[in-house]
A and B are shown apart, each in its own frame.
Chain A
Amino acid sequence: MSHGDNLKTIQLTKDLTIPKLFLQSAKKFWDKKVAMREKEYGIWIPITWKQYYENVKKIALGMVSLGLERGDKVAMIGDNRPEALWAEMAAMCVGAIGVWLFQDSLIDEVQYIINHSDAKMMVGEGQEEVDKYLVIKDKCPKLVKMIWDDEKGMRNYNDPSLISLKELMKIGESLDQKEPKLFEEMVMKGKADDVCLLFYTSGTTSLPKGALLTHYNMLSMGRNLMRVDQYYETDDFVSYLPFAWIGEQMMSISCGIQAGFTLNFPEEPETAQENIREIGPHMMFAPPRIYEQMVRNIQVKYLDSTWLKRKAYEFAMKIGYNIADLKFAKKHIPWYLNILKYIAYLCVHKKLKDHLGLSRIRYTYTGGAAMGPDHFRFFHAIGVNLKQIYGQTEIAGISVLHRDGDIKFDTVGKPIPETEIRITSDGEIISKSPSVFVGYYKMPDETAKALRDGWLYSGDTGFIDADGHLVVFDRTKDVMELSDGTKFAPQYLETRLKFSPFIKDVWAIGDRRPYVTCVICIDYNVVGKWADDRNITYSSYQELSQKPEVYELVKKEIMKVNKDLPQVARIRRFINLYKEFDPDDDELTRTRKLRRAFVEDRYKDIVKGLYCQEDHVHMDTTITYEDGRIAKIKTDLRIMDVPN
């Protein structure tokens, strides 16, 4: 198959929409090429473009039969699976607007977004989503139908507003027989400037805002990204991160439909890591936590393995780090290092990459939150081309990215083509490109704030360095000052600490306070294993986190990080939290960013304790389960000093 052919033949005009492109690709590849694969019942089941086309057609016409019209909103919720993408594409073909919800959203969030977006239909996976729908349907007057596709557990549901995807497709099929031209006519009505997605952003501070994105926004974003990094029709991509995250839309829709690569859907969310290994994707885009988890897995296995293996790993990593550092510095790599690199690759790196599912990888991207330099170096050391990207929902994905061979881990790289980045006099990053969104849905004030003279105001601060790379500071509100005026970046400390396999989440505190402290969430699996090996007994996260041995362990990890920090920025005291931070408790956004203002308020007792002489804090809080149940927790937490 000729590489990149598909890309060259596509012209982005004011007439081109995602569905039109979908039609083109489907007819071109038809049954000759696999559009997507899903692992089901232990087997990868291919779906050709022909099947993709026919399914979308049936669903679209089914939706029309149920009363969906141009400009209506269709909300979608559920794990990544082909049906979800078909439904989204079908809604777009009708001219409707897709709204994505995070699969694990609580009922209140679902209700808020459904009502705010005026969604008319909801597409969900199975029983769990249907249950959520049944709870909210009376409070959402505009919502008329719920479509589900997984039969499991659905035998006793007879609500007339529920319909299975199968049934919907049957209705669509009969409409197609009556009016065979209808589907393509609907698609042809679309224009590039029509809105196709209403995307709710996960605000770290306020209620979610709905960004309106047009076909042109999405397609131009994908096009410009692919001008930097080429994707080919023969490539494989694994779709396993929430569709409600713009990064996944960018790969599966914006790039996928233009490059024509194959999308692969894991069997279950739990099997994603294994399935990635089976597929060996060519590119990958994930938030830092996924990469952090990979590093943690390797570190844990390293601690667990035999002497010889540990030595081989240490040797290979040393070579890897040397080469990575030379590359970062754009220095020449001497011949003997190249030989050693090959040996390291054969003995260790090849295997590591294989286990992580990265053996065929060409591009890996990380974005959405800050990633520590340690993690970054790690991936380059094992020979994975990890690049930082910067972007936001409001620009349909990404706008800035590292170029191959020009990687600096404290920057996010250079703007993609057709994108202009400037820094205002206040240091705010503003950008202009064809992908900048239309505005927030039903929020004119917010829109006016974010969009001024065609420039998108990001709310992030940063600067452009001598090489033309953009450097993003933490979100404006997250750059902090100690009470003596010294500046420090809490996210930097946090990402450094997270390189320790024992630490899952960190919250660094110190704004307008005399010194820096932090709240640690230990990694239950890793620390649990560590405790098991030392015969330390525990029965819960809460108990384990408060063990004196665990405190000592965390203290050592903090001291390691402290060593490389200037005296003022060192962490003086810490506390082990009795639970992990959780989006269900609003402590993290759904994309797992820490909501500082919220945790500051929620754990004000802890913060108080960290800045007084006491060595204990009494906690009395509630936690919320996903089904809405609430549990109370009362506990005493220990505070520990870190010697400097």
Chain B
Amino acid sequence: MTIKDEVLLKVDDIYMAFGGVQALMGVSFEVKKGEIFSIIGPNGAGKTVLLNCINGIYYPQRGHIYFDGKEITKLKPYQRAKLGISRTFQKIELFKGATVLDNIRLGRHIHLKTGLLSGSIYLGKTAKEEIVNRDFIEREIIDLLEIAHIRDKVVGMLPYGLQKRVELARALALNPKIILLDEPLAGLNLEEVEDMARFILDINEEKRWQTTCILVEHDMGVVMDISHRVLALNFGEKIAEGTPDEIQNNPRVIKAYLGEAEDLYVTRR
């Protein structure tokens, strides 16, 4: 999709410490509308902490976060979700005992307008609303992510690769403006990696979605292939930001990250 000049998310000089450990030290960056923006860095660099700050699980001790021109630094996670920030987790956080469809519907919950009372009677407006939302889920999400064959299966029984896909489906059900993907490719086999990369591109490029993505990922091949811009973190500090080419050739990044850990990332390719 065409990237607009409009800034969708702005992180301004945020600090986050856990006791004596400085997880983030003055990180700033801007994500433009329509981008796939990747965050890379060695283990413990602060990538997930950064996502948690954007998403509202942590509140940064200093600095500000703006979303769509509005400050969200102090908002609660559900308030941010309402604004259109959605995410997936590094370790799958699904309701294991519920079906795929129910998990996805939970992600849609924020868009349900009818109240508890009419919901419990399930008449008129509620039923209509349910049909509209079900239609959205089936048409836009289940079909897109190719999970029709498991829609009635219990999540806990599914293989890991499919669970990852269900998590993405739930995040999409929110119909987000921005989606935070925390290591969506970790633990997948080659074929699943290719599928997932394609889904991310679909979500980003397909006219229907055109969703901005922030991607935290270790698979350098995919990151460099699909990202528009990349941010490199090391020990809570931003060490570089730029296009994939710039990052790949940045000596600080190579030293901090790619160089020493090369073996780790070569294994899958």
Contact = CB atoms under 8 A, between A and B. Distances in A.
Contact of B149 (A41, A155, A156, A268): A268
A37 to B, nearest CB: 16
Interface string A193-210: 000000000000000000
Contacts of A43: 138
A332 interface: no
Contact of A268 (B148, B198, B202): B148
A155 B139 contact: no
A152 interface: yes
Interface string B153-175: 00000000000000000000000
B71 interface: no
B146 interface: yes
A42 B198 contact: no
A614 B146 CA distance: 48
The A contact surface, by secondary structure, is loop
B205 A41 contact: no
Given A268-B148, A268-B149, A270-B149, A42 B138 contact: yes
Nearest to B201: A153
Given A41-B135, A41-B139, A42-B138, A152 B144 contact: yes
Interface string A104-144: 00000000000000000000000000000000000000000
Nearest 5 Cβ contacts at the A-B interface: A270-B149, A41-B138, A271-B149, A42-B138, A41-B139
Contacts, number: 29
A271 B151 CA distance: 10
Most buried by B among A42, A153, A268: A42
B145 to A, nearest CB: 11
Given A153-B198, A271-B149, 13 more contacts: A41-B143, A42-B138, A42-B148, A152-B143, A153-B202, A155-B207, A156-B205, A267-B148, A267-B149, A268-B148, A270-B148, A270-B149, A271-B148
Interface in A268-314: 268, 270-271, 274
Contact of A155 (B138, B144, B206): B206
16 contacts: A41-B135, A41-B138, A41-B139, A42-B148, A152-B143, A152-B144, A152-B202, A153-B202, A155-B205, A156-B205, A268-B146, A268-B149, A270-B148, A270-B149, A271-B148, A271-B149
A346 B205 CA distance: 54
A271 B206 CA distance: 25
A43 B142 CA distance: 13
B151 A42 contact: yes
A268 B144 CA distance: 13
A270 B146 CA distance: 10
Interface string A241-283: 0000000000000000000000000011011001000000000
A43 B206 CA distance: 24
Interface of B: 135, 138-139, 142-144, 146, 148-149, 151, 198, 202, 205-207
Interface of A: 41-43, 152-153, 155-156, 267-268, 270-271, 274
A575 to B, nearest CB: 27
A268 B150 CA distance: 11
Given A155-B207, A267-B148, A271-B149, A41 B202 contact: no
Nearest to B140: A41
Contacts of B135: 41
A441 B151 CA distance: 45
Contacts of B148: 42, 267-268, 270-271
Nearest to A272: B149
A156 B202 CA distance: 11
A480 to B, nearest CB: 39
A41 B142 contact: yes
Given A153-B198, A270-B149, A274-B149, A42 B206 contact: no
Contacts of A274: 149
A166 to B, nearest CB: 15
Nearest to A150: B143
A42 B149 contact: no
Contacts of A152: 143-144, 202
Contacts of B142: 41-42
A234 B36 CA distance: 53
B122 to A, nearest CB: 19
A248 B135 CA distance: 32
B244 to A, nearest CB: 19
Contacts of B146: 268
A236 B137 CA distance: 29
A43 B151 CA distance: 12
Contacts of A155: 205-207
A152 B142 CA distance: 13
- Interface hub of B135, B143, B198 (most chain A Cβ within 10 A): B143
A36 B146 CA distance: 23
A136 B164 CA distance: 35
A155 B208 CA distance: 11
Contacts of A41: 135, 138-139, 142-143
A156 B204 CA distance: 13
A274 B151 CA distance: 12
Contacts of B144: 152
A20 to B, nearest CB: 37
B172 to A, nearest CB: 15
Contacts of B202: 152-153
Contacts of A267: 148-149
Contacts of B198: 153
A156 B198 CA distance: 13
Interface centre among A41, A155, A267, A271 (most CB of B within 10 A): A41
A268 B147 CA distance: 10
Nearest to A43: B138
A270 B158 CA distance: 15
A41 B145 CA distance: 12
Contacts of B139: 41
A267 B148 CA distance: 8
A530 B83 CA distance: 49
A271 B142 CA distance: 13
Contacts of B143: 41, 152
B28 to A, nearest CB: 33
A128 to B, nearest CB: 12
